[in-house]
A and B are shown apart, each in its own frame.
Chain A
Amino acid sequence: MAGFIARRLLQGFAVLVLVATVVFILGRLTGNPADLMLPEDATGEDRQHLIEALGLDGSLFAQYVAFISSALRGDLGTSLRMRQPAVEIFFSRLPNTLAIIPWALLFAMAVGIPLGVVAAINRGRLLDRAAGTIAVLGIATPSFWLGIVLIFLFSVELGWLPSGRMGGPEHYVLPVITLGAFLTAGFMRLTRSSMLEVLDSEYVKLARIKGLSETVVIWKHCLRNALIPVLTLWGVFVGNLITGAIVTETVFAWPGVGRLTYEAVIYRDFPLLQAVIILKAILILCINLCVDILYAYVDPRIRLT
């Protein structure tokens, strides 16, 4: 188990370095990155100052080393617009995003998993097709549009819920549903196919031979096994949520890192965007690592080897 964790850590670190390198390269693709970091009204002198200050007059390799070393020290640049260290801004907004992500995940599971089980048990029949249709709708509806439609229905027309900003529980409802909708389909499809495989297995037959009730057979013997592959995708799902939050937070004016990303794009705030990407990469890798550990723990075949 410890070896497993160590390997995963190493892999994660490798990916992180890769991401940082790609970001570094992209920043220098179209000439001097200083041009990306300067406000419109900068003079030639300002530009030269910036180039020297950031060490952009050195060789590419020297720049890379400087980039990585300052990153390791926690310095990922300063936002053009807000004139604060990007890392600071990121961490000040992060809690807001972390506030809705778990709810969205929970929502998607609470709706998606039972739908998947029902679909699998009723394979080929009406309930299965209905669940499948809901799933496809979940995937086909762009989340930004879903959010706007929800706002239109529940906020503008019905006035039941607020249309944005953070606040009390009623502010959470629509963003959580919007963020989780896409994932619901994913959970449903995965649970369904996983259950179908498990339903056919010999140990399910043995459970029935033992005379256990159908409820126990499905919800204890089948689901426990069917959820293991679902667990492996948790990491991917949370990654999707973090990127999905970009759109959702924008639509609902939610002050999280998703909206921060949007602002960085709209205002062409390159240093901030660069920092956000690297920090998000770290976040996603950490979550994936946790999920992998959880998975190894839950599946006794891995835990006890």
Chain B
Amino acid sequence: MSGDNVLEVRDLATYFFLRRGVLKAVDGVSFNLRRGEVLGLVGESGCGKSVTALSIMRLLPKDTARTVRGEVRLAGENILARSQREMREIRGRRISMILQDPQTSLNPVFSVGEQLREAIYRRTRQPMAQVMKEAVELLRRVEIAAPDQRIRQFPHQMSGGMKQRVVGAISLSGRPEVLIADEPTTALDVTVQLQYLKLLKRLQSQTAMAILFITHDFGVVARMCDRVAVMYAGRIVECGPVQHILERPSHPYTQALIASVPRISGGGDSLTTIDGQPPSLMNLPPGCRFAPRCAHADPRCRASYPSTVPIGVDHTADCWRLEGR
């Protein structure tokens, strides 16, 4: 365990056990999150990004889903082996999460102040006045104007962007080492998105928190992340520093993904899309999962899953074609 990593995920696999069959949402995901860095986790919807996050937090729906193998090491110890009660101590304090839709992530019947108070109170048992002062301070940190008034308000009295800031404040209240942001700006207005990302960046530099930033948008990755892991059909297919990957994407899927990001400078032609559909997670092909859609696939690609190939400094990809480069 290198001293720099605050979160290490090894061969994480989470399956959903449904009536129709077993859905392998996450099937062997490994990555490291270093102290103070922003790691992007990018991929199409349904590729398993959110399930990865929930697996780390151990908040999977217990009736249908189960993490069947793997380790998640937080500062050295495997939290998958902890009991739920121990996890509750960890959640909120050492790892926290921002959910995607601000409209639904705040409880509509409690005031913003009350929801913050709950979170703060878990960390420190201070008298109420103290706790409320800290709540106001937190709102100020996420750049909400007139925080002492906002504290008494209810979620429906706030805009989407402001609600998401409150969610951010709640997540920060425990002073976590790791923050998982699950598509935090997807549900916000485009104009508000940028502001929110800037806020996150600022907060991150102030607290030296590590962020696992989940998104489907490479543009956001370019703006926010230091490194990025590209996910496809339950596995990570490429992982490395953002600059490298943007300049020289190596895995065919990454290349296709980056090519499909519309550019304003491009001459207004049709949008490039990737042909075909991701494989069914209940019926995965034996070989590389992108092979059916890959222009360069050969029989070996279809037969067995590629091994992880180092491409550059700290940059790897899972592709047979890249071997020996």
Determine the distance from Cα of A178 to Cα of B96 in the docked complex, in whole angstroms: 50
A210 close to B91 (CB less than 8 A):
yes
- Asked whether A81 is an interface residue with its Cβ less than 8 Å from the other chain, the reply is no
- Asked whether B57 is an interface residue with its Cβ less than 8 Å from the other chain, the reply is yes
Among A223-261, those with CB < 8 Å from B are: 224-225, 228
Contacts of B111 in A (CB 8 A): 300
Contact with B along A211-233 (1 / 0, CB 8 A): 11100000001001100100000
A29 to chain B, nearest CB (A): 49
B321 to chain A, nearest CB (A): 40
B106 close to A203 (CB less than 8 A):
yes
Contacts of B154 in A (CB 8 A): 300-301, 304
- Asked whether B323 is an interface residue with its Cβ less than 8 Å from the other chain, the reply is no
- Asked whether B104 is an interface residue with its Cβ less than 8 Å from the other chain, the reply is yes
B107 close to A203 (CB less than 8 A):
yes
Among A180-197, those with CB < 8 Å from B are: none
- Asked whether B223 is an interface residue with its Cβ less than 8 Å from the other chain, the reply is no
**The residue from B101, B109, B122 contacting A211, defined by CB atoms under 8 A apart:** B122
- Asked whether B229 is an interface residue with its Cβ less than 8 Å from the other chain, the reply is no
- Name the residue on A nearest B89 (C-beta): A211
- Asked whether A208 is an interface residue with its Cβ less than 8 Å from the other chain, the reply is yes
A30 to chain B, nearest CB (A): 53
Given A201-B104, A202-B99, A203-B105, A211–B90 Cβ distance below 8 Å?
yes
Given A211-B90, A212-B118, A304-B157, A206–B59 Cβ distance below 8 Å?
no
Determine the distance from Cα of A202 to Cα of B182 in the docked complex, in whole angstroms: 12
A224 close to B90 (CB less than 8 A):
no
Among A106-131, those with CB < 8 Å from B are: 123-124
**The residue from B88, B110, B157, B167 contacting A213, defined by CB atoms under 8 A apart:** B88
Determine the distance from Cα of A201 to Cα of B111 in the docked complex, in whole angstroms: 17
Chain A: number of interface residues, binned into ranges: 20 to 34
- Asked whether A28 is an interface residue with its Cβ less than 8 Å from the other chain, the reply is no
Among B87-126, those with CB < 8 Å from A are: 88-93, 96-97, 99, 101, 104-111, 118-119, 122
- Name the residue on A nearest B108 (C-beta): A301
Count how many pairs of residues, one from A and one from B, have CB atoms less than 8 Å apart in the complex: 74
- Asked whether A209 is an interface residue with its Cβ less than 8 Å from the other chain, the reply is yes
- Name the residue on B nearest A228 (C-beta): B109
B119 close to A210 (CB less than 8 A):
yes
Determine the distance from Cα of A202 to Cα of B115 in the docked complex, in whole angstroms: 14
A211 close to B157 (CB less than 8 A):
no
B174 close to A207 (CB less than 8 A):
no
- Name the residue on B nearest A124 (C-beta): B63
Determine the distance from Cα of A283 to Cα of B109 in the docked complex, in whole angstroms: 30
Given A205-B105, A210-B119, A211-B91, A300–B170 Cβ distance below 8 Å?
no
Most chain B beta carbons < 10 A, residue from A203, A209, A224: A209
B59 close to A205 (CB less than 8 A):
yes
- Name the residue on A nearest B59 (C-beta): A208
Determine the distance from Cα of A228 to Cα of B174 in the docked complex, in whole angstroms: 31
Contacts of B174 in A (CB 8 A): 210-211
A206 close to B108 (CB less than 8 A):
no
Contacts of A213 in B (CB 8 A): 88
Contacts of A221 in B (CB 8 A): 107, 110
Contacts of B202 in A (CB 8 A): none
Q: List 17 A-B contacts (CB under 8 A).
A: A202-B105, A206-B99, A206-B167, A207-B107, A210-B92, A210-B118, A210-B122, A210-B174, A211-B91, A211-B92, A211-B93, A224-B110, A225-B109, A228-B109, A300-B109, A301-B154, A301-B156
Interface set of A (CB-CB < 8 Å, partner B): 123-124, 201-203, 205-213, 221, 224-225, 228, 299-301, 304
Name the 9 nearest CB pairs between A and B, nearest first. A211-B92, A211-B91, A202-B104, A203-B107, A202-B105, A210-B92, A300-B154, A209-B97, A210-B119
